[in-house]
Structure 1
Amino acid sequence: MKNPWTKISAKEVYDNPWIQVEEHQVLAPTGTEGIYGKVHFKNRAIGILPLDQENHTWLVGQYRYTLEEYSWEIPMGGGLLEEDILESARRELKEETGLTADKWTELMKIHTSNSVTDEVGFVFIAENLTLGETEFDATEDLQIRRLPFKEALHLVMKGNITDAISISAILKTGIRLKMI
């Protein structure tokens, strides 16, 4: 479909190693002039839902600075745009849980907040797992929890897991496993 929006002008208002913020003057599809803020992500969002032979999964807990609250999530992180998506997923799983996987299935592509950002995420199911040592990066203070997948699904349904990528991954996997 042809883009019905017209960009009149754009200017960068902020830039750091992870994001760039732009201000766009636009003409909406209705002909109305307006302003649009766009957050450009310099990485892809990468999520991994590990599943062992007993249908257990792993969640990672951490305090999320921007939300000012603690969050339980599937293992995830950022992958450089020029890096292979699966290699990013392998690295993030190892970094945050110590797990490596012999079987990888792409579960979905996801747009995290398409009204203000161009961020694209990819989520994988990781199976045939081997446990090793974590490799947290310098900013990570994580808790790791192994639990039955059904319990993770229950945490989503109760509203205890609020991260959009985690919710999507757990619900879609629940459907695939015929638990929903």
Structure 2
Amino acid sequence: MNEYNNPWKVLAEKKIYENPWIKLNEYDVINPSGGKGIYGKVFFKSIATGALPLDEDLNTYLVGQYRFTIDQYSWEIPEGGGKFGVDPVESAQRELLEETGLVAAEWTKIVEMHLSNSVTDEYAVIYLARKLSQHMASPEETEQLIIKKLPFEEAYQMVERGEITDSMSVAAILKVKMMLLDGRIS
């Protein structure tokens, strides 16, 4: 048997919960060591998209909001969900405009990642947004946002100090820091 083959055996599957954003299934399984058990999996009904805006002076924009799921305030890059079948860059463009009022003329895909592959199938695509122009923001009714424009290096230091913990934001900021250091962007 190839070590990359699926060692899990599903005996039964049951839908536990579903809403417009997620579905939760529970599985009766035989685990890789041969024991019986259960496994829960959250299916996301959208793809996560994010945009790290970076202006010509190497300033970026963070979005601050209180996150219900973690019961704390969070500083993040502009991000949100996009429909499957829609180019993720279109969803990232929409989120950037909605949350910050920014429009970018240049988009570069910088990260593709699974967000918590131990319990979900959530997948993210993150872009670097350049050549920015300011327009009117229009956050969703569930969003009470504060927008912070700051030097990119300050956002990087926030990651280093553990002040930014959102996984998409951390990944994007660290990737852009590497790109700046090795001269891929300036």
* Same fold? TM cut 0.5: yes
Q: Identity over aligned residues, as a percent? A: 50
Q: Deviations over 1:133-154 (max 9, x none)?
A: 0011111110001100000000
Q: How does 1:66-145 map to 2 (within 5 A)?
A: 66-145=69-148
- Provide the TM-score with structure 2 as the length reference: 0.94
Aligned residue in 2 for 1:18: 21
- Report 1:40-59 matches (<5 A): 40-59=43-62
What is the identity, as a one-letter code, of the residue corresponding to 2:180? L
TM value normalised by structure 1: 0.97
Runs of 4+ in 1 over 3 A off after TM superposition: none
Q: Residues 39-82 of structure 1, C-alpha deviation per residue, up to 9 Å, x if partnerless? A: 00001111110000001000000000111110000000011112
Unaligned 5+ runs, structure 2: none
Q: Distance in 2 between matches of 1:103 and 1:149?
A: 18
Tell me how far apart the structure 2 counterparts of residues 7 and 106 of structure 1 sit (CA, whole Å): 36
Count of residues paired in the alignment:
179
Residue 84 of structure 1 deviates from its aligned partner by: 1.5
Aligned residue for 2:105, secondary structure, equals strand
Supply the AA of the counterpart residue of 2:31.
Answer: A
Question: Which position in structure 1 is the counterpart of 2:180?
Answer: 177
Counterpart among 121, 130, 155 of residue 158 in structure 2:
155
Q: Partners in 1 of 2:162 and 2:111 — Cα distance?
A: 22
Q: CA deviation at 1:11?
A: 0.6
Secondary structure at the counterpart of residue 113 of structure 1: coil
